[in-house]
Amino acid sequence: MLPKEYSGVVVCAPVSTVRPRTTRRTVSWFLGSVLSQLVSRSGIGRYEIDGIVVASYGLAPDNAASLAEYFGLEPSFIMDIPYGGASGVMAMSRAARAIQAGDAEVVACMAADIAPSGYGIYSNFSSATRDHIYPYGAGGANATFALITANYMAERGASAESFGSICVAQRYNGARHKLSMFRKSLTMEEYLGARVISDPLRLYDCVPRCCAGEGFLVMSEDRARSLGLAFARIGGVIERNAGYASDPIMRRVGISRDRERLYSQASLGPEDMDFVQAYDDYPVIVMMQLEALGFCAEGEGHRLALEKKLTVDGDLPLNTSGGMLSLGQPGAAGGFLGLNEAIRQLTGQVLGEQVPDVRAGVVSCFGTVNYLRGLCCNAAILKEGVRS
């Protein structure tokens, strides 16, 4: 049985803050900046926001309730989702369901994190990373993804160039985006010649940290129309957490088994997708998401990456904003980048280059790297609504 449709609910008002590499501001400042922009961009009264969903690793000891008090909101629906890269679609689907259920009318989905100075949050990310990963010398997810990448290369026959083609295409897209940390694109020679971070991962396989906030609003289509907002519709959502636990090493993402469910909700297929926004903390995970979403068979993502033109003007536009590789990774707010770019593409509010004739696209999220694998996976199809 397919889940209840998301009809009547729309996503709108994608906002992004400044994105410095370091900051003396707090996470709450970035979230406040997001909320302020959501209000000014949408023209909605602050008190009309009666739901907030917050994604952040670094917000503690604060939470959605303390933020509501801080920002003078009195929401009937609050939710903290500390699930990093998986948080964008997760925030949207939970907000949409709350609206459909009548628990809230206008939900602000917000995410922010700041690059920690000194010791990273990884030291206390989860019991398993604190006890069994961090004391072994792994300061973040690099070592875990090095193992996953090494295994993917050995098992699937992927080449360094196949990963590089994703990175090069994304930096091409990013060079055209207003918020990119890099104006310059990347060549394959530069990718292959970069220093090794954790063999086989090189510098450009890893995303640069930054400090930023992202946000969007979820509300009824009627409300959006009355506010005169451009919006996109939710065509379908799938989510799978802690999937394929019996795979000794991560070789596919959890939503692989849910693909049919996603496309059936939208009555569309992979061939109808005008773009793909896939969480891009490491290229190997982008490949696994492309496989899971049906753009190729399982294990063929590396071939797809070499065969298709992945740039914003290509035949499979991938991470059209440049992804985190270009815009930087602001912790949990990195999980909002793909969704915000999808909304921008579908509503004609791009900060980079517009994919021509977009009707629908897919956003795939992945996050919460716990013990040697990522736990949270989800994906959504967004469809055109009203353009700006």
Please tell me the distance from the alpha carbon of residue 172 to that of residue 201, in angstroms, as a whole number: 20
In whole angstroms, the minimum distance from the beta carbon of 130 to another protein comes to: 6
299 binds another protein (CB under 8 A): no
Rounded Cα distance, 263 and 385, in Å: 18
Give the torsion sign (CA, 50, 25, 14, 239): negative
Closer residue to another protein, CB minimum distance, 65 or 249 = 249
Binding mask 248-277 for another protein (x = CB under 8 A): xx----------------------------
Structure tokens at 290: 């492309």
Pairing state between β 9-16 and 231-241: antiparallel
Alpha carbons 376 and 241: distance in angstroms, whole number: 4
Q: Which stretch binds another protein (CB under 8 A): 5-13, 129-137, 229-237, 327-335?
A: 129-137
Can you tell me which of 46, 130, 183, 184 binds another protein, judged by CB under 8 A? 130
What is the closest distance, in whole angstroms, from the C-beta atom of residue 25 to another protein in the complex? 22
**Shortest Cβ distance from residue 17 to another protein (Å)?**
25
Give the angle subtended at the CA of 304 by the CAs of 302 and 308, to the nearest 5°.
Answer: 135
358: closest CA among 216, 220, 235, 228? Answer: 235
Least Å distance between CB 160 and another protein? 14
Out of 3, 43, 135, 157, the only residue in the binding site for another protein (CB under 8 A) is: 135
CB of residue 22 to another protein, shortest distance in Å? 15
The least distance separating another protein from the CB of residue 129, rounded to whole angstroms, comes to: 9
C-beta of 246 vs 356, nearer to another protein = 246
Q: Which one of residues 9, 35, 104, 133 is an interface residue with another protein (CB under 8 A)? A: 133
SS (H, E, C) 176-236: CCCCCCCCCCCCHHHHHHCCEEECCEEHHHCCCECCEEEEEEEEEHHHHHHHCCCEEEEEE
CB of 287 to another protein, least distance (A): 16
Footprint of another protein on 175-214 (CB under 8 A): 195-201
Binding flag, residue 4, another protein (CB under 8 A):
no
Residue type (1 letter), 232: A
- The nearest distance, CB 225 to another protein, in angstroms, is 49
DSSP string, 24-46: SS-HHHHHHHHHHHHHHHHT--G
Tell me which of 77, 134, 231, 275 binds another protein, using CB under 8 A: 134
Can residue 121 be called a binding residue for another protein (CB under 8 A)? no
Contact positions with another protein (CB under 8 A) in 344-373: 371-372
- Which residue matches tokens 């990195």? 334
Q: Per rule CB under 8 A, is residue 6 in the interface with another protein?
A: no
Facing residues of 113 across strands? 212
Q: How many residues bind another protein (CB under 8 A)?
A: 37
Q: Does 151 help bind another protein (rule: CB under 8 A)?
A: yes
Q: Which two tokens stand for residue 4?
A: 């209840």
How far, in Å, CA of 107 to CA of 53, rounded?
A: 7
309 binds another protein (CB under 8 A): no
* Cβ-based nearer residue to another protein, 205 or 258: 205
Q: From CA 129, how far away is CA 55, in angstroms rounded?
A: 20
Q: By C-beta, is 43 or 135 nearer to another protein? A: 135
Q: How far apart are CA 198 and CA 195, in angstroms?
A: 9
Query: CA 238, CA 15: separation in Å to the nearest integer?
Result: 24
User: Judged by CB under 8 A, does residue 69 bind another protein?
Assistant: no
Q: What are the beta bridge partners of residue 55?
A: 111
Q: Which stretch binds another protein (CB under 8 A): 92-100, 116-124, 226-234, 287-295?
A: 116-124
As a whole number of angstroms, the distance between CA 283 and CA 205 comes to: 6
Query: Which positions touch another protein (CB under 8 A)?
Result: 119-120, 122-124, 127-128, 130-140, 142-143, 146-148, 150-151, 154, 195-201, 248-249, 371-372
